[in-house]
Chain A
């Protein structure tokens, strides 16, 4: 009865997903309905095309990079747990007492480190753990399109890599990346709050 259910029982493996991502039941339900709405042909998974059809994402200069983050290791489809795992990076950080967290458990997906790691991999096109000058140039080119000349873009890239690079290898590693952003309020800038 009814075309939708309000019970979390419709989500397969919901307990595992809750443990992994830390989303509340209500949030997971909303995200599940969103997943189903995006999955136009009712395949049960999302393809690149489904995400590309979101108008507001297609006009985002980094739209393609963001879509790539849902399809790691060359996969072509993402199921609901995979979908939610990526979105979990943007869950707001709650005021938990760090002392009570079990150190044996893996770091929650929405920790500061993991948010930074997510941003880092948007730059790191080949996933080798370093942002080379070439990769920086490519990402910058995505953000500005044809509005900026090659020379201007190159000088901007050189300056940025120079400032962040500490060990002089001409590339920005993850540690150097985090160091240059240590004062940044990542918690707030990389968080999206789901309404209750």
Chain B
């Protein structure tokens, strides 16, 4: 037989023991609490320690920059140019007033100088506009020891580099394998658990088990991402027969909401692993999955959702009306489909703290797998969830107005900017109706006055 060196067996033994210890730790500290929904508070302690370290790191960088007499690059989330919030009419009147050599006549028509207003407004949007910056990750004020968020790397001292190296080691060699193991456990338990529950006859037992299997697996997934979630106003949680709407930042939103409540999911049928999960889930309780061809048919979609909502024994539906992922600094136009159904709407606001890990999925930049890896190699995902009081459509409101009302409530609670723009602008051009409104405003100014003059 091969001559084994004496320490080989020792190494194998050590490896075996450490793996067993790791798994026991995993079981005790993570999975068992997940099953029962309790928490040891380990993650909150972890978060506090990290904050202290980040503050120290930013101070060191600022000191390093001062020594070299440079200024640190400070990102601006509010835009890079100074803007005046005056209206079209005010500005044009002011322009005319300042340049007019004639007597101040209010019935002035078109002036050559009117063009300055549109010209400058146009240039301002080229330099900085509200929508383009919503589709890239939010920039941080202080550094969080991740190379992906660093803009000032030439100011890092030796100590800071060592700290960063330590961070890389911890994140990639300790946290990442742990998280992947947890994710794997969570997903397999979900698939197996829901399939098993699916064999039971319909009844109270099946519902009870289904709910707890779902909750348990989502909680394990939450721990797989080291997500530290604070729920507010849990008394407003969605009930059966209602629709839960929330702002959309990433696919993780689903895991975050579903680990605290029992929802029916709505979505398109996928292939691959997602498809396996979807088929298993629907065995235990009724979710609403659409075939690709059915998604285009708006009436069919509305009909199925209405049927689901009218059955009070079925779970509340979870929908993200923005239709696309936004970077969590603003809320964009809500598609009116879910607001036409006539059910009670339970709005939920989700706000992530980007300090510990940016949850925004930039689908034009990263695929799903890269995105998940980035999530699992961040420090943590910290977010706050607010359950807002339920809303229903008023008699004199149409679906669009109702959608905007819900959107404003969510934006206000989450501290996000409320935008009227459509998230689909990421891929398409804006409609001409908006341009017509501007043209109308301007026309009133130059023609309205003309009519007054011709009358007198």
A residues bordering B, Cβ < 8 Å? 1-7, 26, 29-31, 34, 37-38, 40, 51-63, 66, 87, 90, 118-119, 122-123, 139-140, 143-148, 152, 155-156, 159-160, 164, 172, 177, 180-181, 183-186, 189-195
CB distance from A141 to the nearest CB of B (A): 10
B20 part of interface (Cβ distance < 8 Å): no
Summed over the interface, the residue pairs from A and B with CB atoms below 8 Å come to a total of 184
B336 part of interface (Cβ distance < 8 Å): no
Interface set, chain B 410-452, CB cutoff 8 A to A? 421, 425, 429-430, 434-440, 442-444, 446-447, 450
B118 and A60: CB pair below 8 A? yes
CB distance from B374 to the nearest CB of A (A): 12
B110 and A156: CB pair below 8 A? yes
A2 and B153: CB pair below 8 A? yes
Give A156 to B454 CA distance when docked, in angstroms.
Answer: 13
Give A140 to B148 CA distance when docked, in angstroms.
Answer: 48
Instruction: Give the interface SS of chain B, mostly helix, strand, loop or mixed.
Output: helix
Give A148 to B444 CA distance when docked, in angstroms.
Answer: 9
B435 and A194: CB pair below 8 A? no
A90 and B151: CB pair below 8 A? no
CB distance from A156 to the nearest CB of B (A): 5
A2 and B447: CB pair below 8 A? no
A193 and B116: CB pair below 8 A? no
| The one of B118, B128, B446, B447 that contacts A34, using a Cβ cutoff of 8 Å | B128
- Which residues on the B side are within 8 Å of A40 (C-beta)? 364
Give A141 to B126 CA distance when docked, in angstroms.
Answer: 23
B73 part of interface (Cβ distance < 8 Å): yes
CB distance from A34 to the nearest CB of B (A): 6
B residues bordering A, Cβ < 8 Å? 71-73, 76, 79-82, 95, 98-101, 109-133, 136, 147-154, 364, 421, 425, 429-430, 434-440, 442-444, 446-447, 450
B442 and A143: CB pair below 8 A? yes
Q: Which chain A residue has the least Cβ–Cβ distance from B442?
A: A143
CB distance from B90 to the nearest CB of A (A): 13
Q: Which chain B residue has the least Cβ–Cβ distance from A141?
A: B439
A119 and B118: CB pair below 8 A? no
Q: Which chain A residue has the least Cβ–Cβ distance from B135?
A: A37
B112 and A180: CB pair below 8 A? yes
CB distance from B298 to the nearest CB of A (A): 24
B446 and A144: CB pair below 8 A? yes
Give A143 to B115 CA distance when docked, in angstroms.
Answer: 9
Assuming A58-B435, A148-B447, A195-B80, what are 16 further A-B pairs, CB within 8 angstroms?
A1-B147, A2-B150, A57-B126, A59-B430, A60-B118, A60-B121, A61-B442, A62-B119, A143-B442, A144-B446, A145-B435, A147-B440, A148-B446, A155-B450, A164-B112, A195-B81
B438 and A61: CB pair below 8 A? yes
- Which residues on the A side are within 8 Å of B100 (C-beta)? 183
- Which residues on the B side are within 8 Å of A66 (C-beta)? 118-119, 122-123, 126
Give A40 to B362 CA distance when docked, in angstroms.
Answer: 12
Give A146 to B73 CA distance when docked, in angstroms.
Answer: 46
